[in-house]
Amino acid sequence: MNRRIFLFGALAAASCGKDHRPRLNVWNWSTYIDPEMVKAFERQRSVRIRYGTYESNEEMLAKAVTGNSGWDIVFPTHSRLAPMWRNGLLATLDHKRLPSLHNLEARFQSPEWDPSLRQGVPYMWNATGIVYNKAQVSAPARWADLWSPALSGRLTMLDDPEDVLGICLLKLGYPFSSINEAQLGKAKVEALAQKKLLRAYLNADVRDQLVSGDVLAAQLWSTTAAQAVHGGAKLGFIYPQEGFPLYCDCAAILRESPRQELAHEFLDYLLQPGVAAANAKVAETATANAAARVLLPSDDVLYPPLQAMQRGIWPPALDSAAQRLRDRIWTEIKSG
Amino acid sequence: MKLRLYATLALLFLHAPLLVLIVFSFNSGKFTAWEGFSLRWYAAAARDSQLIDGLWNSLLIAFASAALATLTGTLAAYGMWRKAAPVLSAGLYVSLITPEIVTGVSLLALFQWSFRFLHLQLGMHTVIAAHVAFSIAYVSIVVSARLRGYDRSQEEAAMDLGATEWRAFFRVTVPYLAPAIAAAALLALAVSFDDYVITSLVAGVDSETLPMVIYSMARKGVSPVVNAVSSCVVVIFGALVLVSERLQRR
Q: Residue A143 carries which side chain, given as an amino acid letter?
A: W
Q: Measured between alpha carbons, how far is B217 from B199 in angstroms, rounded to an integer?
A: 16
- Give pLDDT, residue B25: 87
Residue B117 included in any domain: yes
Question: Is there a contact between A241 and A266 (Cβ–Cβ < 8 Å)?
Answer: no
CATH code for the domain of B168: 1.10.3720.10
How many CA atoms lie within 13 Å of A111's alpha carbon, on the beta-carbon side?
Answer: 30
The yes-or-no verdict on residue A7 having pLDDT over 60 is no
Determine whether the interchain pair B216/A13 forms a contact, defined as Cβ–Cβ distance below 8 Å.
no
Asked if residue B80 is part of any domain, the answer here is yes
**In angstroms, rounded to a whole number, what is the distance separating the alpha carbons of residues A327 and B3?**
48
The mean pLDDT of A139-153, rounded to a whole number, is 94
From CA A43, how far away is CA A56, in angstroms rounded? 30
CATH, residue A177: 3.40.190.10
How does residue A233 score in pLDDT terms, banded at 50, 70 and 90?
A: low
- Digit-coded pLDDT (tens) for B138-186: 999 999 989 988 988 998 999 999 989 899 999 999 999 998 999 899 8
User: Residue B50: its pLDDT value, please?
Assistant: 84
Each residue's pLDDT tens digit, B123-142: 899 999 999 999 999 999 99
pLDDT digit string, tens, across residues B88-99:
878 888 888 889
CB contact (8 A) between residue B72 and residue A1: yes
B201 contact A CB<8A: yes
Pairing of strands A48-54, A23-29: parallel
SS (H, E, C) B210-250: HHHHHHHCHHHCCCHHHHHHHHHHHHHHHHHHHHHHHHHHC
Instruction: Kindly state whether residues A319 and A201 are assigned to the same domain.
Output: yes
Residue B221 has pLDDT above 70, yes or no: no
Task: Say what the pLDDT of residue B38 is.
Answer: 84
- Closest residue in chain B to residue A68, using alpha carbons only: B121
Do A184 and A318 fall into the same domain? yes
Query: DSSP string covering A232-259, please?
Result: -TTEEEE--TT-EEEEEEEEEEBTT-S-
**If pLDDT is split at 50, 70 and 90, which confidence band does A247 have?**
very high
Same domain, A164 and A257: no
Q: Fill in the amino acid letter for A20.
A: H
Indicate if A89 and A178 belong to the same structural domain.
no
Residues A145 and A276 in one domain: no
Task: Tell me the average pLDDT across A263-290.
Answer: 95
User: Which amino acid is located at A227 in the chain?
Assistant: Q
- Do residues A164 and A206 lie in contact, with contact meaning Cβ atoms separated by under 8 Å? no
What DSSP state is assigned to residue A316?
P
Q: What percent of chain A has pLDDT over 90?
A: 75
| Through-space distance between the first and last CA atoms of chain A, rounded to whole angstroms | 50
Domain count, chain A: 2
C-beta pairs of B29-32 under 8 Å, 24+ apart in sequence: B30/A231, B30/B223, B30/B224, B31/A207, B31/A208, B31/A211, B31/A212, B31/A231, B32/A208
In this predicted structure, the answer to whether residue A12 has a pLDDT above a threshold of 90 is no
Pairing outcome for strands A121-133 and A286-287: antiparallel
User: What's the per-residue H, E or C state across A16-63?
Assistant: HCCCCCCEEEEEEECCCCCHHHHHHHHHHHCCEEEEEEECCHHHHHHH
Tell whether B124 lies on the interface with A, counting CB pairs under 8 A.
yes
Q: What is the pLDDT of residue A18?
A: 57
The C-alpha R_g of chain A, in whole angstroms, comes to: 22
Task: Determine whether the interchain pair B122/A227 forms a contact, defined as Cβ–Cβ distance below 8 Å.
Answer: no
pLDDT, residue A17, reads 47
Range B108-126 average pLDDT? 87
Q: What is the mean pLDDT of chain B?
A: 87
- The answer to whether residues A189 and A222 belong to one domain is yes
Question: Among A17-21, A109-113, B2-6, where is mean pLDDT lowest?
Answer: A17-21
CB neighbours of residue B118 within 10 Å = 10
Query: How confident is residue A252, by pLDDT bands cut at 50, 70 and 90?
Result: very high
Q: What's the pLDDT score for residue B70?
A: 96
CB-closest option in A4, A66, A212 to B68: A4
Say what the pLDDT of residue A1 is. Answer: 41
Does residue A9 register a pLDDT over 70? no
Regarding whether A231 and A141 lie in a shared domain, the answer is yes
- Provide the mean pLDDT of chain A: 91
- Kindly identify which residue of chain A lies nearest to residue B209, measuring between CA atoms: A52
Quick check: helix, strand or coil at residue B170? helix
**Percent of chain A predicted with pLDDT > 70:** 94
Contacts of B215 in chain A (CB under 8 A): 55
Please state, in angstroms and rounded to a whole number, the distance separating the CA atoms of residues B245 and B250: 9
Q: Domain range holding B204?
A: 58-208
Q: Are residues A81 and A139 in the same domain?
A: no
Residues B43-50: what's their mean pLDDT? 85
CB contact under 8 A, A13 and B126: no
Q: List the domain range (segments joined by +) for residue A189.
A: 126-245+310-335
**Alpha carbon A160 to its chain's center:** 13
Which B residues, 206 through 235, put their C-beta within 8 Å of a C-beta on chain A? 206, 208, 212-213, 215-223
Query: How many structural domains are present in chain B?
Result: 1
- Looking at the predicted structure, is the pLDDT value of residue B42 above 70? yes
DSSP of A161-173: HHHHHHHHHHHTT
The confidence score (pLDDT) of residue B205 equals 87
Residues A93 and A159 placed together within one structural domain of the fold: no
Residues A161 and A295 in one domain: no
Residues of A with CB under 8 A from a CB of B: 1, 4-6, 8-10, 12-13, 16, 25, 27, 29-31, 35, 50-56, 59, 62-63, 66, 68-71, 203-205, 207-208, 211-212, 223-224, 227, 231
Cβ contacts of A54 on chain B, cutoff 8 Å = 216
* Contact between residue B66 and residue B192 where contact means Cβ atoms under 8 Å apart: yes
The pTM of the full predicted model, rounded to 2 decimals, is 0.82
Q: What is the mean pLDDT of residues A211-240?
A: 89
Pairing mode, strands A286-287 and A73-74: unpaired
- Indicate whether A212 pLDDT > 90: no
**Does position B245 have pLDDT exceeding 50, yes or no?**
yes
Tens-place pLDDT, residues A54-92: 888 988 998 898 888 899 999 999 999 999 999 999 999
CA distance B217 to chain A (A): 5
Residues A89 and A155 in one domain: no
Q: Do A55 and B215 touch (CB under 8 A)?
A: yes
| Residue B248 confidence (pLDDT) | 64
Q: Are the C-beta atoms of A209 and A112 separated by less than 8 Å?
A: no
CB spacing of B219 vs A5 below 8 angstroms: no
DSSP track, A103-168: GB-HHHHS-TTSTT--S-EEEEEEEEEEEEETTTSPPP-SGGGGG-GGGTTSEEE-S-HHHHHHHH
Q: How high is the ipTM of this complex?
A: 0.72
Same domain, A95 and A203: no
* Integer-rounded Cα radius of gyration of chain B: 22
**Residue B28 domain flag:** no
Q: Give the pLDDT band (50/70/90) at residue A203.
A: confident
- Print burial letters for A267-291: b (CB count within 10 Å at least 16), e (below 16): bbbbbbbebbbbbbeebbbbbbbbb
The residue among B59, B111, B220 with the most chain A CBs within 10 A of its CB, best to mutate, is B220
* A213-231 average pLDDT score: 90
Worst-scoring range by mean pLDDT, A117-131, A154-168, A218-232, A258-272? A218-232
Q: How far does B185 lie from chain A, in Å, by closest CA?
A: 17
Judge: A30–B219 Cβ closer than 8 Å, yes or no. Answer: yes
State the burial class of residue B112 (Cβ atoms within 10 Å of its Cβ: 0-12, 13-18, 19+): middle
Q: Is residue B30 very low, low, confident or very high in pLDDT (cuts 50, 70, 90)?
A: confident
Tell me the range of A113-117, B163-167, B218-222, B237-241 where mean pLDDT is highest: A113-117
**Long-range pairs, B47-51, Cβ under 8 A, ≥24:** B48/A35, B48/B225, B49/A35, B50/A35, B50/A51, B50/A53, B50/B208, B50/B213, B51/B210, B51/B213, B51/B225, B51/B229
